[in-house]
Amino acid sequence: MTQDCANVRVRPLQAADLPAALEIQAAIYPTFLLEDEPAFASRLDVAAPYCLAATRDGALVGYLLAHGWPSEAPPPVGTVLAREAPSEILFIHDLAISTPERGLGLGRILISRAFDLAARDGLAVAELIAVEGAAPYWRRLGFADSIAPPHLAAKVAGYGPQARWMTRRIALPADESRADA
């Protein structure tokens, strides 16, 4: 962690963070990708939330919306999620860092923490839709472009012309019973 990240705290994203998170979202994303408060809040309330906040001096400077979800089934932009959904994979829905905090590695820190939590729960794959030219960023975090099957292509296209379907394996903790052998 860089010195600039030393006083950043990572914790679960909470409903009280929504106003600040929506401000960050509005500053970063084009209008067609903005989600309203009910859709945003529903990601905090799914059965397997991995939503995280990055704060500096108590102020939200970045967030990650991630949750367990069915494989190859990304929800359309703006969808209010149902609470109970199978957690087959870790779906990375949104990662946003405020402009002054970009370049400090906060995104990598948030993703790493979410991967640790998901691996603890047995999720071995992460999926996402890279938007607005972000695919190179996600490649640097170990994600690879994947060909979207026909049933998925239209959903990916709904995230904009630059949208890319990407996946990555999550390293699961070693089987502790083998460690004792």
Domain ranges in the chain are 3-171
Task: Write down the pLDDT at residue 181.
Answer: 40
- In CATH terms, 3-171 corresponds, of 3.40.50.2300, 3.40.630.30, 3.30.230.10, 3.30.930.10, to 3.40.630.30
Q: What is the mean pLDDT of residues 76-81?
A: 90
Amino acid identity at 118: A
Task: Write down the pLDDT at residue 176.
Answer: 44
Confidence of residue 148 (pLDDT cuts 50, 70, 90): confident
Task: State the distance between the two ends of the chain, measured CA to CA, in whole angstroms.
Answer: 35
Place of tokens 């994947």: 146
Long-range contacts of 83-89 (CB under 8 A, 24+ apart): 83/45, 83/46, 83/47, 84/47, 85/46, 85/47, 87/47, 87/48, 87/121, 87/123, 88/123, 88/125, 89/123, 89/125, 89/126, 89/127
Say which residue, 179 or 24, is predicted with more confidence: 24
Confidence of residue 22 (pLDDT cuts 50, 70, 90): very high
Amino acid identity at 158: G
Angstrom distance (rounded) from CA 70 to CA 54:
26
Task: Write down the pLDDT at residue 89.
Answer: 96
Q: What is the mean pLDDT of residues 126-149?
A: 94
The whole-model pTM stands at 0.89
Q: 78: burial class by Cβ within 10 Å (0-12, 13-18, 19+)? A: middle
* Half-sphere CA count of 96, side-chain side, radius 13 A: 24
Q: What is the mean pLDDT of residues 12-29?
A: 95
Task: Write down the pLDDT at residue 178.
Answer: 40
Q: What is the mean pLDDT of residues 51-66?
A: 95
Q: ∠ at Cα 94 (139, 154), nearest 5°?
A: 80
> Out of 1-5, 52-56, 81-85, which region has the weakest mean confidence (pLDDT)?
1-5
Task: Write down the pLDDT at residue 107.
Answer: 94
**pLDDT tens digits, one per residue of 121-133:** 999 999 999 999 9
